[in-house]
Structure 1
Amino acid sequence: MRRLLADSGEPRGWVPLRADLVTALLGVWFGIGLMIDAWAHSNLTELETFFTPWHAAFYSGFAAVSGWIIWQVYRNVRLGRQGLAAVPQGYLAGLVSIPAFAVCGLADMTWHTVLGIETSIDILFSPSHLGLIVTMLLIITTPLRSAWSAPDVGVRPSLGRLFPALAGLAFAATLVSLFLSYGDALQYGSAAIVESFSDVRGPGADLLAASMAISNVVLLAPVLLVVRRWNLPFGGVTVMYTVAALMPGSQTAFENLPTLLTFVAAGLASDVLIRLLRPSGARRAAYWAFAGLSAFITWSLYIAVASVAGGGLPAVPELWTGAPVVAGLIGLALGALFLPNALPANAADAGRA
């Protein structure tokens, strides 16, 4: 064992695109399994055991993607590599997270056996669940780390080349949104949005405004990360926002479909903005403008679609006019945090090559 773990010294290489694609697709299985389990916890309050079909879908996805990651390492071991030299670029964190996830899974089974099954907000604070979500995030973002410095990605990757990375990052964002479900604006239906912004006396307006701010950050931050790294191909944000709508959709049984489809449209609008503004790490003004305008357009669409589907504009004009502006300002602030200074063009291109 010591001989196997000893580093043989060769430079670590990258897996081919098709291997990253398989990793991403198995990660999708893993992520959808979690969505099915989230639906069960949200809608089947009579759950009383750890051993359910929903957990089977979730943990089988873990087994599939874990087996594939281990296989990528084993292939290099068969070629004579040892230690870190056998681990492909971008795969180390995912590999280490596999046994950690298994330990958290055993802890989760013990927790449920002793303390029962959570069916409310307490599910989001269970220590075993938090451990599962962190390790899962590291596993499913493996294609992102693999592509981050892969020599064949280039400055302007195609959507097909970047799809595994975007899928992994998007599903990671859904994990964050799941554990911030108490502040998820994507779970609101159209009527609830209009009603919440029609009365400032109750808690509805406060909760929706806070949820919009939280969801704005969860949605936009991953996009800004990849836009800073690459010239994002058209369709990239649409892919990410479509995936982002799946988790809240699973929790609401897709009963708020107009709200969810709003974010698909918002992703398309953001792709158009990228085409027009060409934001990048070397173009700070365009990057900041994209961050602010993308958020403003997204949440303007959110209010507009809710008003059409919910029977009219909210009764408090300050809320429905000001909320998208606040979102845009938050987006601008995120842009300034992600890119406080423009990167030199040659340095940005070298980092992307």
Structure 2
Amino acid sequence: MSTPMALISKAGRVARPRIARAGSPAASSAFEWGVVAAGGWLMTGLYLDGWAHQHFQVETFFTAWHAVLYSGMAAAAALFGFTALSNHFSGYAWRRSLPLGYGLSLLAVLGFALAGGLDMAWHATFGFERSFAALISPPHLLLAGCGLIAAGGPLRSAWNRGKSVAGWPAIFAAIYLLSVITFFSQFVHPFNDPYALDVGPAGTVYAAEALGEISIVFQSAVLQSVVFLVLRRLQLPPGSLLLLLTINGFAMSAMKDHYRFALVGLLAGVVGEILLFSLRPTASRPSSLRVFGFAWPVALYALYFGAVGTLGGTWWSVPLWTGSIFLAGVAGLLASYCFFSPGVREHAPDPQ
């Protein structure tokens, strides 16, 4: 592969590249793990910023947490930009200079930079939001969307390559997808606000019961939707569900120091691995998909209420907390029907 430096003429002018290669370049292992590293850097900055907002009163745009967040995106931009430039000077057209699935990632990092400037102007105009408003302000939602698209490159690439088993870069992309969604829906996440323990920020008994119930059902649907999104095209390698819930569970529980729920994520990940191994859910095994869709959220929130019990027990009535566990399974079951309609065969092959 020719490098941009090698194409500078003796006169100091850059030689014009000749477009001689069809298609798109292959995604090397080093490149994909570089994207994973940049995505992890970005996610670390995102959750550090969330943790800081939960523990301190932030009154400036220029914080250490923002520095981690934006430097992570800068690292991603540098990786995509240099790779595109190198491939272009190796004979690929600009619009095909990144591996399949990564063109959107480059556009997303550019959008992230624009959204960052908008965010700074927004704060200068309207001040710094508090609580729920900080999550749903338009610049923050734009940043979330761009970050999600940028970090999702390995998953899109795996889909395009048509592999049977998801590689680990694709699994990390799925973890980042889940983590962006859970971060921006933290106001309805039981690891962040455990309303089964106390009324908390809900303020009233009715609100705490309603928000607690909604959070369990909503997050069950989100979790299973991310998993089924991967399963539509790819098989999950052993250990992927354990990694998914361990990382996401720790990140969500750490923001308000509910670290016991991180252990819930780890144990539920182990249960997910057992279910994945025993049921082998695929599009050609719809019954296994339905059982998995129902059983995994049930196990997760049974463990969750077990942890609540070790923290002093729940004030919820028995019908409420047991019904919440059941409805978590119903949400996962419905997600399976959304991604795998009856009678439809998807692309993911059966395990051999």
Correspondences of 1:2-21 after superposition (within 5 Å): 10-21=22-33
Normalised to the residue count of structure 2, the TM-score between the two structures is: 0.88
- The code of the aligned residue for 2:45 comes to G
Report the CA distance between 1:305 and its aligned residue. Answer: 1.9
Given the superposition, is the C-alpha separation of residues 343 and 311 from structure 1 closer, same or farther in structure 2, using an over 3 Å criterion?
same
- The code of the aligned residue for 2:251 comes to M
8 Å Cα contact 1:185-1:208 kept in structure 2? yes
- 2:151 pairs with 1:140: yes
Report the CA distance between 1:103 and its aligned residue. Answer: 0.8
Separation of aligned partners in 1, 2:89 and 2:99 = 14
- The code of the aligned residue for 1:319 comes to L
- The code of the aligned residue for 1:193 comes to A
8 Å Cα contact 1:283-1:342 kept in structure 2? no
Match of residue 234 from structure 2 = 230
Secondary structure at the residue paired with 1:273?
Answer: helix
Report the CA distance between 1:201 and its aligned residue. Answer: 5.1
Separation of aligned partners in 1, 2:287 and 2:19 = 45
Instruction: Give deviations 1:239-293, integer Å, cap 9, x for gaps.
Output: 11122224323421xx211122201211111111010000012211111111111
Match of residue 281 from structure 1 = 283
Report the CA distance between 1:171 and its aligned residue. Answer: 1.5
Name the structure, 1 or 2, with higher relative contact order (CA <8 Å, separation 6+). Answer: 1
Normalised to the residue count of structure 1, the TM-score between the two structures is: 0.87
8 Å Cα contact 2:80-2:98 kept in structure 1? no
Q: Provide the alpha-carbon RMSD of the alignment.
A: 2.5
Given the superposition, is the C-alpha separation of residues 314 and 175 from structure 1 closer, same or farther in structure 2, using an over 3 Å criterion?
same
Given the superposition, is the C-alpha separation of residues 123 and 312 from structure 1 closer, same or farther in structure 2, using an over 3 Å criterion?
closer
8 Å Cα contact 2:38-2:76 kept in structure 1? yes
Report the CA distance between 1:227 and its aligned residue. Answer: 2.4
8 Å Cα contact 2:59-2:128 kept in structure 1? yes
Instruction: Give deviations 1:92-113, integer Å, cap 9, x for gaps.
Output: 1101112211111111111112
Separation of aligned partners in 2, 1:107 and 1:5 = 36
- The code of the aligned residue for 2:312 comes to G
The structure 2 residue matched to 1:125, chosen from 116, 136, 150, is 136
Match of residue 173 from structure 1 = 178
Counting matched residue pairs gives 334
For structure 2, the 5+ residue unaligned runs are 1-15
Match of residue 73 from structure 1 = 84
The structure 1 residue matched to 2:271, chosen from 261, 265, 269, is 269
Identity score, percent:
27
For structure 1, the 5+ residue unaligned runs are none
Match of residue 349 from structure 1 = 349
The structure 2 residue matched to 1:305, chosen from 296, 304, 307, is 307
The structure 2 residue matched to 1:207, chosen from 204, 211, 227, is 211
Separation of aligned partners in 1, 2:17 and 2:62 = 36
Report the CA distance between 1:83 and its aligned residue. Answer: 2.3
The structure 2 residue matched to 1:40, chosen from 46, 49, 52, is 52
The structure 1 residue matched to 2:297, chosen from 290, 295, 304, is 295
- 2:50 pairs with 1:49: no
- The code of the aligned residue for 1:297 comes to A
Match of residue 338 from structure 1 = 339
Report the CA distance between 1:306 and its aligned residue. Answer: 1.2
4+ runs deviating over 4 angstroms: 4-9, 342-345
